[in-house]
Amino acid sequence: MKTLTIEPLTKEAFAPFGDVIESEGRDHFMINNGSTQRYHNLGEVQLDEDGQGIISIFRAKTLEYPLQVKMLERHPFGSQSFIPLFGHEFLLVVAPVGDGSLNIDPSTVRAFRANSRQGVNYHRNVWHHPIMALRDDDEFLVVDRTGPGNNCDEFFFDEAIQLSVELD
């Protein structure tokens, strides 16, 4: 069974999948008469012409680890971001957009661990596992798309991929 190695989340490593939302090491400029640093345009909100951007909160239970990754999903009509509200680390499993077909090469699947000050923004059609909290009832601010059409494709692997992780 393929086992994923969990990589630390960095802007560079995650670039094929989307944006890392963080202030550490990022450019900023002063606003509000010098009282506030603006870390500008950290992520791109992507929408189709019929979509509407919305803000939600996800309260997530932890999954059973080690996790058998059986499926990934993608959102063809818009990006989806997850920003932790309680400052806890969380896990990501992703795969690149590929050729656009409803298929994922298991060798392209990667896992990342977000530190306590990072969020992510999955770009349109980037394959990802549904939110994987590492604390029960953890909460995430979610910016994504609502509108007509089915905005969630799922792909199930012939053989599950193992994700082992040390819980806090």
Tell me the residue ranges of DSSP E strands in the chain: 3-4, 6-8, 18-21, 29-31, 36-38, 52-60, 67-74, 80-84, 90-95, 110-114, 119-122, 127-128, 132-133, 138-146, 153-163
Which of 114, 118, 143 has the alpha carbon at shortest distance from 46?
143
> Is the CB of 80 or the CB of 121 nearer to ligand UGC?
80
**Length of the chain, in residues:** 168
Among ligand UGC, Ni ion, none, what binds residue 131 when CB lies within 5 to 8 Å by partner kind? Answer: ligand UGC
Element (H, E) at 14: helix 11-14
Contact assessment for residue 142 and residue 84, using Cβ atoms and an 8 Å cutoff: no
Region from 23-31, 84-92, 124-132, 160-168 binding ligand UGC, contact rule CB under 6 A: 124-132
Residue 168 CB, nearest approach to ligand UGC (Å) = 20
Name residue 122's beta-bridge partners.
18, 80
Name residue 133's beta-bridge partners.
62, 90
Among ligand UGC, Ni ion, none, what binds residue 87 when CB lies within 5 to 8 Å by partner kind? Answer: none
> Of 147-166, which residues contact ligand UGC (CB under 6 A)?
152
Residue 124 CB, nearest approach to ligand UGC (Å) = 12
Region from 8-16, 22-30, 73-81, 97-105 binding Ni ion, contact rule CB under 5 A: 73-81
Name residue 71's beta-bridge partners.
156
Which of 72, 91, 131, 163 is in the footprint of ligand UGC by CB under 6 A?
Answer: 131
Residue 64 CB, nearest approach to Ni ion (Å) = 20
Residue 158 CB, nearest approach to Ni ion (Å) = 22
Residue 130 binds ligand UGC, judged by CB under 6 A = yes
Amino acid at 27: D
Sites of contact with Ni ion (CB under 5 A): 80
Sites of contact with ligand UGC (CB under 6 A): 73, 80, 128, 130-131, 152
